[in-house]
Structure 1
Amino acid sequence: MSGVYQCEASGVEGKVKSSQVQVIIQYGPRAATILRNHQTISGDVTETEDTSRKIPLNCSSDCNPLCKIAWYKDGEQEDSYNPVIDIRRDRRMSGVYQCEASGVEGKVKSSQVQVIIQYGPRAATILRNHQTISGDVTETEDTSRKIPLNCSSDCNPLCKIAWYKDGEQEDSYNPVIDIRRDRRMSGVYQCEASGVEGKVKSSQVQVIIQYGPRAATILRNHQTISGDVTETEDTSRKIPLNCSSDCNPLCKIAWYKDGEQEDSYNPVIDIRRDRRMSGVYQCEASGVEGKVKSSQVQVIIQS
């Protein structure tokens, strides 16, 4: 019933009016509501990060005289007393917002509104033991052990992760991939993070599983030698023998004749068909796992 009141008196001499009286009924607030685009908010407010843009929220409450407004983020009062707060679309502005209206009837708070600023990924990095990898990852073969690599990328909501080996997608979508220390797992690894802002790939990481030697074998014409190697003397010709052993990095090879090391470190030794070259031959392969010797091969040059 707020308004301007006035009375009028009438009689034999006519009519007269009193002065006007302003009646003000003060009230409020009874409720406070957060609006966006003049609509009550149901659920969360979710936007993609763009620091050049803002999210305007309005605290609506009815008071006479006008309500005083305060804003809260995550329970802490903000430095804003305007009915409208402009929230920058920055990941750091994510949080729970609430407004408070105060007036002659006290104070009321609105319902809480969750503001979620989604972002990422901007970059992806492969880590080992929480450290960025510089150079190759090199380990000795041990199939009972693993190399854990972590794909680090920042997203909200959480990034989806995919792993690639030698350009082919792996059946792993976990941020951490456990690479078995098996020679077959050597290769170039890369991870991909995807989110609301698209997809990004990490730098490539070369994983090298070193191994060997486990065995050494003397071959002739690509065949394992069974028995002696017997040839007729002909000093213009040679007997090529190959020391076969599997290593990564390549095995170092040494040759022995009658127990004495030869001055040859090539996987292939060319034995001249000279009677003086007759003897017992053996090769030795060495690598990250130690040294192994082949079986002995008897070479007989007949005259």
Structure 2
Amino acid sequence: MRKRISIIFISVTLAAVMLYGWTAYAATSPTQITSTSTKGTFTSVDSATVKLSTDTVEQTVPLAKSVWVYRDEQKAQLTDLVAGDQIELVLNSKQQAAYIKATSANASKPDAAASGAANPMDSSTAQPTATPSPTPLPAGTPEPTPQGAAAKPVTPAQPERNQEVYPNLEGMDVSVDGKHFKLHIRQSQGPHGSLYDLSIKPEDAGMIHLSGDQAAAWIHELLASIDLKSSDAKQTLAAQLAEHYGLDASKLTIQMKTQWKPDQAPAAKEYEDRKDNSKDKSKDKSKDKKNKDKDKDNEENHKRGNNSRGDVQRNSDR
């Protein structure tokens, strides 16, 4: 009896451990966790950390083993970052900066001339305006609540639209497998446009998982130099990943599926052109046949006429 109870206890314990392990795995699955991000003003960077300031605090974020850096939508290095750049950090599952998107101060400033022309309160052009006398309110009407002088009209937030990585691409599925390295890119069609999903798991590093516009932005920069319609698209992507992560490109297995939007208008026009041409050719053939039949009849009538005249001539000779 005791032995049976011990066996049951051990079995229940093993089942609980397995269930806990599966739950923990599911909780860390890239399909369940989306990488977090933080934005601020770049301060400095060293071999291990990047520093940025926000409206409230100074932050020091550890760097991942391999960091993607883009500055003004161009691939860059950590050393290309300049103090004052506006940066966005995408953190992997270990809360390390794995992707840095920077915008230089010059690129983010509006054109000075346009800004001055659009500002009606410019001191060089603005004219003083007389303040109108307040209109007396009827008795019993409550006084309006004064507004701060610096108050600005509230502009309603506009919903973000997913970026189109390739405008003519309807769907895409790219998988890269290597030793201790995995990358997956997916584009599909949703009710409001294209949907994007990106996950990267480098060797000895945390998982990166992005979706929506963040995934679209990184996919666009990652594939910007690759022509997906070319025969060497896989080799180009393998070389790019191998260079960045220090991998052997020949040992990367790449599966790439793309679905492009059909160009319906030219195809329909081409079909109509072929249809019209076939009709014209049929008419021409019918016309040629009629002409040939007519020529044949004329030739037979001519022969019969010649034969009749010959018979008449022979009869008259007699």
**Same structural fold, with TM-score higher than 0.5 when normalized by the shorter chain:** no
Higher strand share: 1
Q: TM-score, normalised by structure 2?
A: 0.23
TM score, norm. by length of structure 1: 0.24
Higher helix share: 2
Larger Rg: 1
